[in-house]
Chain A
Amino acid sequence: MRYTKEVLGQVLIFSVNSSVSPEIAKEISDDINKEILENKKIEKVAIDLKNQYTIDSSVFRILSPVGVSLRKQSKLFYILNPTAQLSAFIKEMGLASLMKPIDSLQEINAETKAAPPANATVFDVNFINPFIQGVITTMKIQCDLECTPLKSTLKKQLDPSIQVDIAGLIGITSKTFTGSVSICFPEKTFLSAMSTMMGEEFLEVTSELQEGAAEFINVIFGQAKKVLNEQGHTIEKALPSVIHGKNVDVKHTTAKFVILIPFASAAGPFYLEIGTGDKS
C-alpha cells in the first residue's frame, strides 16, 4: 500500500510509505475530494512524509490545485514532517500559504482558522499599513531610497503645501473595500528616484519615464495585495494609469475620503494617497 489514511478529530491524514510520485499525488488528490464530500467534520488535511519521504517538484502541479480548492472551502492543507530541504523549497516557491510545512500533528491541532476580516474602513491601519510598507520596500529596492512615512491626514482639496507633478494610480476592488491608491511625486523627487532606478540621469519627465510612476504603484499594489489577501481580503488584479502635469490634483473618483500619507526621503518628499468609497 502506497499510503494509509485516517481521520483524527478534524484532521484527515495521509501517511505515505514512499516519496510522493505524480501517480500517488493524483490518488491522494482524488481521495481528499472524496473524503471531504463524505465527512463534513474534516477541517484540515495533511500529507505525512515522516521526515524521510519527499515530493518531486513536478508533483506540486497536482497538489497546488488541491491547496487552492481546500482554501476556497476554508480548510487548511499541510505537509506534515517534511525534510528541511522540502520545507525550504515550499517556502521559497511561495506555496506555504497553500500547503504549510509543519513538524507535528500537535501544531496542526493547535492551529485555528483565521477569522474573516471585518469590512475595512479608511482608518483601518491594518489595511493601510501594507501599502505603507510596500512604498518603503519598493523605494528601497528599486531606487536605493530610504523613506520615512510622516503623519497621515485626510486629503484637503488643492492644498498649496503639496505639489504633485506625476502620479501612478490604481483601482482597488474587493468584497470589503472599493477605492484607489496612488503614489504622487513632485517632478524633482520623481526624476531623482527614476535616475537612480534606471542608472542614468534624467532631467525631464519623458513619456517613457512616465511609465515609471505606473510601475511604482503596480509593485506597491502587488505587495500590499499579497498581505491583504492573506488576511482574507479578496483584492482583484488591476492595471495602473499615470497622471502627469504641472501641479495636478489626483482624483480618486470613487472615493468619499482620501487619506494622505507624506513620505520624507533624500530625493525629496512624495505622497501615498488611499481613497475609499467604503460605505461605512
Chain B
Amino acid sequence: MFSLETRILIVDDMSTVRRIVSKILKELGYNRLEMAENGQEAWDILNRSSFDLVISDWNMPVLTGIELLKLCRADSKYAKVPFILLTAEAEAVQVSDAVKSGVSNYVIKPFTGDILKVKLQQTYKKTVESL
C-alpha cells in the first residue's frame, strides 16, 4: 500500500466529493492532501509542487480529468505518477479512452471507503510492478 507520507492531490469540482475523498483518505492515515476544483487548478498546483498520487474526477468544467491526465502523461515529472480517475461515466468507450491515455485505475461513482481502499491497493501494486 502507498506509504502514509504519500502526497495526494484530490481534484473534483464538487466540494462534497472532495470532502468525502479527503475524509476516507484521512481515515486510512493519509494527511498530506491538497485539493483542486478543476483540472486547470490541479495542473497549476502540480507545477508548483510535487505529488505522488492524483485522484481526479473526470467530468469537470475548465479542464476535465482526462485532459489533466494527458497533460500529466506528457510531462516527464508526472508521466509515471499514479493517476486514479473518479467517474460516474462507466461506459466502455470512456474506459477505453482512459486506458489509452494512461490512467492507472478508476473508481466508478457511487463508491464507498472500502472500494477506494481496494482501488488504492490495486494501483500501488500496478505501480510497483511497472517499476
- Which residues of A pack against B, CB within 8 Å? 60-61, 64-65, 67-68, 71, 93-98, 137-138, 141-142, 194, 197-199, 208-209, 211-212, 214-215, 218-219, 221-223, 225-226, 229-230, 237, 239
Contacts and interface: CB of A to CB of B under 8 A. Distances in A.
Contact of B59 (A96, A98, A223, A237): A237
7 contacts: A94-B90, A98-B96, A208-B15, A211-B16, A214-B14, A223-B90, A226-B90
Given A198-B16, A215-B14, A229 B100 contact: no
Given A197-B20, A208-B16, A211-B14, A226 B100 contact: no
Q: What 8 pairs across the A-B complex have the smallest Cβ distances? A: A222-B88, A64-B96, A141-B110, A97-B92, A94-B95, A142-B110, A98-B92, A219-B109
A137 B110 contact: yes
B16 A209 contact: yes
Given A141-B110, A198-B16, A218-B59, A64 B91 contact: no
Contacts, number: 85
Interface in B59-108: 59, 61, 87-93, 95-96, 99-100, 102, 108
B92 A222 contact: no
A60 B99 contact: yes
Given A141-B110, A198-B20, A199-B23, A218 B88 contact: yes
Interface size class, chain B: 20 to 34
Contacts of A197: 16, 20
A96 B110 contact: no
Interface of B: 14-17, 19-20, 23, 59, 61, 87-93, 95-96, 99-100, 102, 108-112
B120 to A, nearest CB: 16
B95 A198 contact: no
A230 B91 CA distance: 8
A225 B91 contact: yes
Contacts of A212: 14, 16
Contacts of A214: 14
A93 B16 contact: no
Contacts of B93: 68, 71, 98
B109 A95 contact: no
